[in-house]
Structure 1
Amino acid sequence: MQHEERNGVDLRRYRSVIEQARLTLRQNLAITRTPCYLDACIGREPELQQLHHWLRQPHAPLLTLTGVSGIGKTHLACEFLRRAQQAGVRCIYVNLTLLQTADEIIPAVFHALNTPFPGETVWKRLASSIFEQGVLLVLDDFYGLLPEGARVVQELISAAPALKILATSQEPLGIPEETLLPLPPLPVPSLQGESLESLRRNPCVAIVLSQAGSNLQLTRSNAAQIARLCADLGGYPGRLVDAGLYLRRCKWIQFYSQYRFWFGLAPSGPMKPETQRHLLHSMLLEEEKRILRSLSVFPETFDGAAGAAAANIGERAIKPLLDKLLECGFLQKAHEKTSVRYRIRPQMRTVILPLKEEERSVVMQRLHAYYRQRLQPNNWSRQSAIDPREWCYAECYTLQHV
């Protein structure tokens, strides 16, 4: 009876929901929307060790990574989730950026488990059953849902005591069960003539070089300038990543002569991240901006074929454009078992010019025709590498809008 009934709710009625959620966890499908960072989480090994220690503690259900925008909270959380999943921990990733109210948090968790939301009167009983083996849940970008969201997390902890919750937020959630891990800036290089080898080991320099790729090499002639750049950017990973992305588009001499303007490094204080993103957007070609606007209709992840349909270009033509938008930081790759999927970085949506109503209508008509054709039964052969149910699950947010 203990397994069949909890708190007066007959779980046999919801057995299919529970089994589907457990299957999703076993198959690691609940992390398919995790941002896929192309570079390692540089300079955060001490924090990763603290997170692993917290995961092993029995009475610490919630840890919140706190820090200002651009300090690297999401990157660290995703790297920890990846390592935990490789160690056999069952994980869930939920991005809260697009949620409007705290009431949407629990439905988003159930959606990540590929199950329908059972309703306010039942979800707590199901959560205690689904998470009884212990699961790591990452709630990313919590700041916009405070303070109401803290109450929801407290209810979730009460319903599923075995659940481990890792949240990212600019401010603490402020509940008794919370453990805080504030993220400091990374150590900046010394300006006193460090050796090239010492500079390469510095995490700030390593981030800039990794993002710039082959367009920037650390040499004796530019070592002092690169050290000065990293010191000026204050050890903030977000700014360092943006600097590296700029350097993919222009030469070092051109960049170094203007970076203080681009990053607003003046006596009045650093430029706001929003202004930096507008500057990065201004460096795109007009066709790239048009495609980015078309892709903004996708509320979640999309694949190359759907992106090509929205932008009204061929699949082969859109591939290099998607790669370029990835390099520039406007898109992220999402983890998928069978296909490559993309998403617009949430913080970049604010700099994309919204589609007019008639433009949006045209794009949605294209997607409507594409999905109708894609969902025809004869398009799914038994030898297909993509399972139709998994594809529909990945596309469900877009299908609801179309």
Structure 2
Amino acid sequence: MNSQTAPGLDVLLQNARRRAGLTQEQLAGLSTVSVRAIRDLELGRVQHPRKETLRLLANAMRLTDARRIELELAVDAQAVGRVFQDIYGADLAVPPAPLRPLVGRRPELEALTARLSTEHERLLTLVGLPGVGKTRLAQEAASLLHSRDRVPVLWVALDGAAETTGAAANSPLSTMTGWVRALVRDGEKLDELATVIGHKPTLIVLDGYDSSPSAIRPLLNLLRVCERVKILTTTCRPVQLPGGRLLPLAPLPVPAPSDLAASLPGDSLVTDRPAVELMLSHVSHMRPDFLPTDTVTTTAAHICRALDGIPQALEAAASWLLLYSPEQLLDIARTVPLVLVDGVTPTDPAAGPTLSDRLAAAVTGLGPRATALLRTPVDPWTVDDAARANGTSLAETARDAHALLVRGLIRQLPTTPGGPVGFTVLNLVRAALVAEQEQQQEREHGSLVDALAE
């Protein structure tokens, strides 16, 4: 915000009404607020209206979130930008508090925090499959920088998820969070945000960049204006932003088939295998009576492999243990894994698409070559194998394999010194491809039936 005196409630209300193309009488009719009350507000006779009155007026004028917050804050004697500028710092800009410990991801966390701690990396993007843990890793990195280096963190959930900062409603912290979120989503008055931040080091996290890709472009100007600002985005679909760096996040490592076939003791399947550790923690939460015996641990390890080590899928699958034994759960995971990944409890529609829906969206819209690569008949395969099987050039196959690997749709297998690099398609991705093909066949059959009926 500039150094001039900010407009008061009277001016803001007049401007908002005129932008909406309404007279005072029309606004009164739409809002159920009297003409006299509106006139008194616009003349500055009333400085502290009820919050309900502001809400009715804002709804009638269909104001954006940013404009609504601006009206509410204008009730105070000081301008919002100057208030935030005076108190802005690590105590005001706090990342969402993680609700659970981070399991695994130590190398990824170290790599991410190292890049965020350098002066040379200012725009980073975490990319990976839905449910793989991008938001959780970003939370851990942001919390570490906030607590260790006292870096203010402005967290913006672009996918509609609610931020959990632990702040009480109407507190400065929650007000700041709402103000920044509204500015970013609306793409308005980011110069005010730049003035508030100034020369202070700040991390801006845009969680769910897929949901609002247009939000990043205005924010890129902040990198030019505020030299100590850094931006971290999370996304399922990689987009190379100008001057940015992509950081692919793969699923958690799962036990190799040879380890599972060797009938190793249960402890051996947990050591250095965070997916199994995470699954066992969910098992003990859902079924405390299931002790971590070798049998339970081995079955959990097989489930982890069937569900590709995707954290959200593992948690959802564990919820079915109230209905099925671990052995039954493994059978379902191997045959119809998409049934498990949404959990047994009905999801709240307000929470957005389910994990199975988001996995399906991850495989739709791929080019024909990439889709064919996912359906390569040999498994595992090398780039050379896939090129021969699909009749494509090595260069085309390599580019497609790289794109699929960045998006997390395929997994790179461990290699031996001097040996070829092998890849395998994730089980949940295969299941999503089969489901998509079946739906396409149903649509084509329905179209054919309709055509014959005509």
TM range (shorter): 0.5 to 0.7
In the alignment, what sits opposite 2:102?
41
Match status 1:17 vs 2:81 = yes
Decide which of 102, 111, 129 is 1:68's aligned counterpart.
129
1:91-240 correspondence runs (5 A): 91-98=153-160, 112=177, 114=179, 117=183, 122-124=189-191, 126-146=193-213, 148-189=214-255, 190-191=259-260, 192-201=262-271, 202-212=273-283, 213=285, 214-240=288-314
One-letter amino acid of the counterpart of residue 252, structure 2: L
Tell me how far 1:160 sits from its aligned partner. Answer: 2.5
Match status 1:245 vs 2:319 = yes
For residues 25-49 of structure 1, what are the alpha-carbon distances to aligned partners after superposition, in whole Å with 9 as ceiling and x for unaligned? 4324543xx26432x2211010110
1: distance between equivalents of 2:211 and 2:80? 33
For residues 330-368 of structure 1, what are the alpha-carbon distances to aligned partners after superposition, in whole Å with 9 as ceiling and x for unaligned? xxxxxxxxxxxxxxx5555999xxxxxxxxxxxxxxxxx
For residues 276-312 of structure 1, what are the alpha-carbon distances to aligned partners after superposition, in whole Å with 9 as ceiling and x for unaligned? 32x5235xxxxxx9xx68xx5xxxxxxxxxxxxxxxx
Q: Which protein has the larger Cα radius of gyration, Structure 1 or Structure 2?
A: 2
Match status 1:82 vs 2:143 = yes
Aligned to 2:84, the other structure's residue is in SS state helix
Q: What is the percent sequence identity of the aligned residues?
A: 24
One-letter amino acid of the counterpart of residue 345, structure 2: H
Indicate if the aligned counterparts of 1:246 and 1:255 stay in contact, CA closer than 8 A: no
Q: Identify the range of structure 1 (67-76 vs 153-162) with the bigger mean alpha-carbon deviation.
A: 153-162
Judging changes above 3 Å, is the alpha-carbon distance between structure 1 residues 17 and 55 closer, same or farther for their aligned structure 2 residues? same
1:223-372 correspondence runs (5 A): 223-247=297-321, 249-250=322-323, 254-261=325-332, 263=333, 265-266=334-335, 270-271=337-338, 276-277=341-342, 280-281=344-345, 345-347=351-353
1: distance between equivalents of 2:208 and 2:230? 17
2: distance between equivalents of 1:186 and 1:62? 25
With structure 2 as the length reference, what TM-score do the two structures score? 0.50
Indicate if the aligned counterparts of 2:254 and 2:304 stay in contact, CA closer than 8 A: yes
RMSD between superposed Cα atoms in Å: 3.4
Judging changes above 3 Å, is the alpha-carbon distance between structure 1 residues 12 and 347 closer, same or farther for their aligned structure 2 residues? same
1:387-402 correspondence runs (5 A): none
How many correspondences in the alignment? 262
Tell me how far 1:166 sits from its aligned partner. Answer: 1.1
Q: Identify the range of structure 1 (118-127 vs 181-190) with the bigger mean alpha-carbon deviation.
A: 118-127
1: distance between equivalents of 2:192 and 2:249? 35
Tell me how far 1:19 sits from its aligned partner. Answer: 3.5
Aligned to 2:250, the other structure's residue is in SS state coil
Indicate if the aligned counterparts of 2:123 and 2:230 stay in contact, CA closer than 8 A: yes
Aligned to 1:98, the other structure's residue is in SS state coil
1:54-65 correspondence runs (5 A): 54-65=115-126
Tell me how far 1:258 sits from its aligned partner. Answer: 3.8
Aligned to 1:138, the other structure's residue is in SS state strand
Tell me how far 1:128 sits from its aligned partner. Answer: 4.6
Indicate if the aligned counterparts of 1:25 and 1:113 stay in contact, CA closer than 8 A: no
1: distance between equivalents of 2:264 and 2:198? 50
Tell me how far 1:24 sits from its aligned partner. Answer: 5.1
Indicate if the aligned counterparts of 1:22 and 1:130 stay in contact, CA closer than 8 A: no
Indicate if the aligned counterparts of 1:111 and 1:117 stay in contact, CA closer than 8 A: no
In the alignment, what sits opposite 1:27?
91
Indicate if the aligned counterparts of 1:61 and 1:161 stay in contact, CA closer than 8 A: no
| Larger RCO (alpha carbons 8 Å, 6+ apart) | 1
Tell me how far 1:150 sits from its aligned partner. Answer: 3.9
Q: Identify the range of structure 1 (234-243 vs 58-67) with the bigger mean alpha-carbon deviation.
A: 234-243
1: distance between equivalents of 2:300 and 2:183? 51
- Structure 2 runs not aligned, ≥5 long: 7-78, 162-173, 358-454
Aligned to 1:271, the other structure's residue is in SS state helix
